[in-house]
Amino acid sequence: MRIGELAGKAGVSTKTVRYYERLGLVDPAREPNGYRSFGENDVRVVMEVSELSEIGISPSKAGPFVECLDLGHEHGDECVSSLTVYRDTITDLERMIDALSLRRDALQQRLDRSADRSFKKEKPMSDYTTLPEGLPVPEDDGAAHGLPGSSMPRLSLPASDGRSIDFSDLGPGRTVVYLYPLTGRPGVDLPEGWDAIPGARGCSTEACDFRDHFQQLRNAGAERVFGLSGQNTEYQAEVVERLRLPFSMISDESLALADALGLPTFSAPGHDRLYARLTLVVRGGVVEHVFYPIFPPNEHAGQVLDWLVQHPA
């Protein structure tokens, strides 16, 4: 077969095939007219090298996998030399992760110092990333007992990434939506007496917990994770960026979802109506499970993860 046909079968460009040829990974025969001629084994090799490249193993290190295929193995990683490349690549990635973590920590420290200087003339700020001791524990008032089995409403709300989320069509698999009253922002006071309201404090810590457990939640069957509050999208976009959240926040300024499902809410100074902290697990357009009340919020993502693991879809 010609190079174009090979590229089409392997799902790569002809430029990629030529690159692999320069590296010696494929060795086409030459016809009398000078054209390259490739076989089905070359298709396997190109596909193998391309797949390895997608997971971080560069073509220059793919030789052992190609040799393994040439020896007649069904897969290129059935040889000891291939496993060595896996281990070496993992080691390299771990070094990179460590180096990036150090850079991130250094940047965070500089950010914190800069923010402290910027607000040094203000009264001391609350640390919204940690929970103070002695917070009141919310009690189950029965407000969420009738939610499991409820159909999600035909309601579209804006998200921090510019999308519009339709709750009646969230997509296949499970969706986790955690509802919270409001997220604190550095330099902006929370409502008076906020810490005395059971379950109110801890929105930033809850967001960070979902951030830190995000991949585990995905692995456990949560196809999508959203946070939702009555704050506007601009406010939530700032939170997503500042807390480095890998998921979007949904804005429900009129608390339309609360009205549609009868979700619990409460009031606070300066806020007539806020969402009570609650998490929905939705599948097939129906509320499958509800977490309510939630405490402590900084451990809630782990609670959701445990439930997903114990109740596989």
Q: In the prediction, which pLDDT does 227 show?
A: 98
| Type of residue found at 310 | Q
Alpha helices in 119-249 (DSSP H): 203-212, 214-219, 233-243
Q: Which residues of the chain register pLDDT less than 70?
A: 115-130, 186-189
* pLDDT in the model for residue 63: 94
Quick one: the chain helix, strand, coil %, rounded to 5?
40, 15, 40
Q: What is the pLDDT of residue 30?
A: 86
pLDDT (0 to 100) of residue 31: 86
- Please give the structure tokens belonging to residue 193: 């007496």
Residue 122 pLDDT: 42
Distance, in Å, from the CA atom of 94 to the CA atom of 99, rounded to the nearest integer, reads 9
Report the pLDDT value the prediction gives residue 125, as an integer from 0 to 100. Answer: 39
Q: What is the pLDDT of residue 71?
A: 92
Give the pLDDT score at 190.
80
Contact 28, 36 (CB under 8 A): yes
Helix (H) or strand (E) holding 307: helix 300-310
Tell me the C-alpha distance between 96 and 206, whole Å.
Answer: 28
What pTM does this model have? 0.60
DSSP 16: H
